[in-house]
Structure 1
Amino acid sequence: MKIVPVEDFDLRREVEYGTPEQNAAAKRIVQDVKQEGDAALLRYTEELDRTKLTASGLRVTEEELKAAYTKVEPSFVEAISAAARNIRAFHEREKRNSWMDLQPDGSILGQIIRPLKRVGVYVPGGKAAYPSSVLMNVIPAQVAGVPEIVMVTPPATGGKEGINPYILVAAAEAGVHEIYRVGGAQAIAALAYGTETIAPVDKICGPGNIYVALAKREVYGAVDIDSIAGPSEIVVLADEQADPEFVAADLLSQAEHDEMASAILVTPSRQLADAVAAEVKRQLESLPRRDIAAASVEGYGAIIVVESLKEGISVVNRLAPEHLELMVQDPMAIVGLIENAGAIFLGAYSSEPVGDYFAGPNHIIPTNGTARFSSPVDVDDFIKKSSMIYYSKEALLKNGEAIMELARGEGLEAHARAIEVRLKREIEGRD
């Protein structure tokens, strides 16, 4: 793992979202499914996923969900159920209520909060299957009150056996029973525009490969999306007290996701930098996903040596990482100085996988520096808000002239006259 002084490291990581050929392919697939429905959906599933299906075979049956429980360990069911409880408890605290404020003049201003009606969840199945992502997408939507949640996942996430049983068990534990065996850009198009078999949704959530990301960007506007997710990222800010074995293990926990994942240590300690570099090399040797993690470390990993912890905080805020670990002696003393990070893990025992799987906060977090202006998935992602205005006669008589002044200042006479006609009626009525 390369060790570099901060002045030699480019703190701006810009991920290109696909080649021109990939963009064109995603757009073509989306348009074909939009126009042809199930016919295109089935054609692309056979061509790209090498799985021949019929329209009637797209939906996963209840019998398949029940059978999935026989293919996983009871300990997994127990663990995923406990994780679901923790995630639900955390997101319950995010719930909002509609509100109204009665003004002294009789006007009522407020906000009406409603859940989205139908949400689509994409669960990937490429380099790895992620049952935990099922929970992280579905549970906040349920807490928000979304009545219809549909899940799509590639037809062979479990190889020749079909859909990975761990994904199906996670879905069942989360309470999802409308599931379709379809993936890629074609699945995103089906969710966005609907087909003869799959009804359209209001919002699409969940990570996927580059074609999924490009398709989500293509359909945005017809539906809402959570984000265009980039490769996973972790930054560890550590002082001389940090355990190099812990730091290296946590860096590799993200490096094993993808060859483009980013794993960075920021430290004022050259001694720690050397020890972590050695540890990363040692731990890589026994990783089952060694080739992926090694490519990530080589291409996007680094140990940045700074002059002080204060400078390290500045570097972290410029990086705006998806995951940030504060492996320092007193993390509570500096957490308030962290301005840009998707999720912040404090102390030696708050390893990033604790958040990935079990603690409760959502693990779908902004990437590619977007933590500067966006947030993890939460209940707010699955609600919509309507402003409510009940203006009393007294309020309009008092403020009507000001409203007309503003309207005419913008050159919108009809706006002004909509107020004026009411003011005249009241004045004439008094006469």
Structure 2
Amino acid sequence: MLARLDLRGLDPASLAAALPPLTLDDDGPRLAVRQVLDAVRAGGDAAVRELTARFDGIDVATTRVPDEVIAAAVDAVDPEVRAALEAAAAGIEDFHRHQLRPPTTYRRDGIVIEGRAQPVDRAGCYVPGGRALYPSTVLMTAVPALVAGVPEVALCVPPGPDGEVPTLTLAAAAVAGVTEVHRIGGAQAIAALAYGTETVRPVDVVVGPGNVYVAEAKRQVAGEGRVGVPSAFAGPSEVIVIADGSAPAALAAVDVILQAEHGPGGRAWFVTWDEEAADAVLAEIAEQVAASPRRADIESTFASGGYLALVDGPEAAAEVANHVAPEHLEVICDAAASATVVGRIRHAGAVFVGPWSPASVGDYVAGPSHVLPTAGTARFGSALTVADFTKDIHVVTLDRDALAAVAPHVAVLAEAEGLPAHADSVRRRLAPTEAAT
């Protein structure tokens, strides 16, 4: 079920060349997304309604979910589910509060610079639908925004077959404290959040995972300067499991499967230097997939992005992981091998170490957001954090003596750049007849 790659005996350069390339530069999604964005930008609510009917087969007359429906959803879900949502939200909130930065003050020779992280006015969170429900993603996107101090958080979720947002998702929105919920999915949701419609006011930042069309839509509206988006490409889910013979085959197998069950477009790797472990895990994967109710989704992921890589040892396994730069990386090895692998990892969205740390814990309750970089963007992107909802503002104050000390340098650099007004701005202040008070 996984394509086998024998990477043993390869030097680092040859190993990199032997790995399957990424295929993000597909004009199909790019052009299709451009058409959706243009339609919503020009047509507003009417375009959103038409696109929802076309892509989801649902006629949604108005997108916004009434506030009282959201509030009622909390009491409508099973008490155990509600308790789990509340526990997860509390852990996510607690973790992200540790990311908050207090105001800073820097002083140097009369120059005073105050730094503060200022939240955006309005954030948009996208939560996927279709193949599964994702109340966890509501928490993982909205809670960090609210911890950051964002006063308004708008949530977009694809409507279900009945034209409504699932009660479980609404319950998560209520637990998180989301400001408003809209029944919109796909690239049209990103367009509505970025451009605004008659019903959806535009936001400053758009976050959240989705399929390639959603991720491409975020990239395009960010490129227009419409909204901010995290640098990472949060697309279809990915995992690499690195394990040796000490790992129980059943656990390594289920961890390869767990991200693959999200559906097509993702990647699922098993990397090992132990041939017996490889055979045992492959056998377990086949058995578990055959019994899974999500077999079709798993097999679809494996068909396009499933690999078993045989390498020379822990160092080579880490090198494979760094080249792939996966969203999730699991390391289930003996202590020495685990230390070697983890110590060499440079590129991964999140790393889970040991047999008691499956990626599923990170998906729900560990604390860091499960919105992680995919498609190799872990080379430069990170998990969603409170920093994605804030911008740094510097307040600069100088007294006359401080300006006098730096003015010659300002004037020289300004004249070197051919910007005389820049030089005059300091000279005029220091002229005896125009001294600033």
Q: Does TM, normalized by the shorter one, top 0.5?
A: yes
1:116 paired residue number: 120
CA contact (8 A) 2:126 2:155 kept: yes
CA contact (8 A) 1:13 1:369 kept: no
How many residue pairs get aligned? The number is 422
CA distance in 1 between counterparts of 2:220 and 2:113 reads 37
CA distance in 2 between counterparts of 1:47 and 1:285 reads 34
2:84 to 54, 63, 79: 79
1:34 paired residue number: 41
**Are 1:13 and 2:21 matched, yes or no?**
yes
2:73 to 43, 68, 72: 68
1:409 paired residue number: 416
CA contact (8 A) 2:194 2:221 kept: yes
CA distance in 1 between counterparts of 2:56 and 2:323 reads 40
CA distance in 2 between counterparts of 1:42 and 1:242 reads 50
Cα deviation for residue 428 of structure 1 reads 9.0
CA distance in 1 between counterparts of 2:132 and 2:304 reads 20
CA contact (8 A) 2:152 2:179 kept: no
CA contact (8 A) 2:318 2:342 kept: no
Q: For structure 2, list consecutive stretches of 5 or more residues without a partner in the other structure.
A: none
In 2 relative to 1, CA 29–282 (structure 1 residues): closer, same or farther, beyond 3 Å?
same
The residue matched to 1:155 in structure 2 has which SS? coil
Give the alignment's Cα RMSD to 1 decimal: 2.1
Cα deviation for residue 12 of structure 1 reads 5.2
- Deviations 1:159-208, CA, capped at 9 Å, x for gaps: 22722111111111111141111222222221112122111111111122
**Are 1:180 and 2:185 matched, yes or no?**
no
Cα deviation for residue 17 of structure 1 reads 5.5
**Are 1:223 and 2:227 matched, yes or no?**
yes
1:304 paired residue number: 309
CA contact (8 A) 2:233 2:377 kept: no
2:192 paired residue number: 190
In 2 relative to 1, CA 135–428 (structure 1 residues): closer, same or farther, beyond 3 Å?
closer
CA distance in 2 between counterparts of 1:215 and 1:106 reads 47
2:134 to 130, 137, 149: 130
In 2 relative to 1, CA 253–29 (structure 1 residues): closer, same or farther, beyond 3 Å?
same
**Are 1:101 and 2:106 matched, yes or no?**
yes
The residue matched to 2:236 in structure 1 has which SS? coil
**Are 1:142 and 2:146 matched, yes or no?**
yes
The residue matched to 2:346 in structure 1 has which SS? coil
Residue pairs, 1:220-369, within 5 angstroms? 220=222, 221-226=225-230, 227-330=232-335, 331-332=338-339, 334-369=341-376
CA contact (8 A) 2:33 2:216 kept: yes
* 339-348 or 328-337, which deviates more: 328-337
CA distance in 1 between counterparts of 2:211 and 2:372 reads 16
Amino acid at match of 2:201: A
CA distance in 2 between counterparts of 1:141 and 1:86 reads 15
Cα deviation for residue 373 of structure 1 reads 1.1
1:214 to 216, 224, 237: 216
Amino acid at match of 2:367: G
CA contact (8 A) 1:18 1:214 kept: no
In 2 relative to 1, CA 219–285 (structure 1 residues): closer, same or farther, beyond 3 Å?
same
Normalising to structure 2: TM-score of the pair?
0.91
1:4 paired residue number: 5
Q: For structure 1, list consecutive stretches of 5 or more residues without a partner in the other structure.
A: none
Cα deviation for residue 135 of structure 1 reads 0.4
Percent of counterpart pairs with the same letter? 41
Cα deviation for residue 308 of structure 1 reads 1.7
